[in-house]
Amino acid sequence: MMEWKTEKKPVEYDFAVSEMERRVEEIRAGTADELVWLLEHPPLYTAGTSAKAKDLLDPRFPVYPTGRGGEYTYHGPGQRVAYVMLDLRKRGPDVRAYVCALEDWIIRSLAHFDVKGERRAGRIGIWVDLSRYGGLLGQEAKIAAVGIRIRRWVTYHGVAININPELSHFNGIVPCGIAEHGVTSLAALGVECGLDNFDAALKAEWREGSIGCEAG
């Protein structure tokens, strides 16, 4: 069984991590269902296991070291965070396939709003070609981040999609260690979309029981 939970108010980061860790242990023990937890955080930065000190440019918000993969990331209101807690023992213990499945999920969800999300070789996350939206040829920006952790084959942390966050808040870090490309959001692309609307797309595009990249 899969549970979906949506928070209506921003959730403090420390509390979210403690709740994920508790749920992971329960899933591992077979006493709780798998969970997709949809929420926002108050403005903050997180430092993944590959974060470099030089990429924290202006610590204007609290900075949380975290055990997820990746580098510095911003979280804040207007960004849909989806923390995904799955038992890969049941679904296939393949980390690359799992990350690919999360990326596919984001790409399919963005397509509901006529936004083409794409992968880029050597850059994790989902990117948008800004030339489709009035930008220069070759200009692109990140619209969604992926950062996961796996404990004894149970996943946690997950993805963050920029719906309508304050994009200037990303200026305090080098997002994911990539300085040559910026970040964008559905709002910045001219797409009117509330969190509830995007949540509906995420739920519609969830592929139960499937872990791995889709053909093509």
Catalytic residues, which ones? 176
Residue 16 CA to residue 39 CA, distance in Å, equals 9
CA-to-CA dists, residue 178 to 1, 6, 43, 108, angstroms: 38, 31, 20, 24
Residue 140 CA to residue 17 CA, distance in Å, equals 31
Residue 145 CA to residue 81 CA, distance in Å, equals 9
For residue 81, what are the contacts with CB-CB under 8 A and spacing of at least 6?
38, 39, 40, 41, 75, 158, 159, 160
- Owner of token pair 């204007």: 60
CA-to-CA dists, residue 138 to 43, 80, 127, 187, 214, angstroms: 30, 27, 12, 20, 26
Question: What DSSP designation does 59 have?
Answer: -
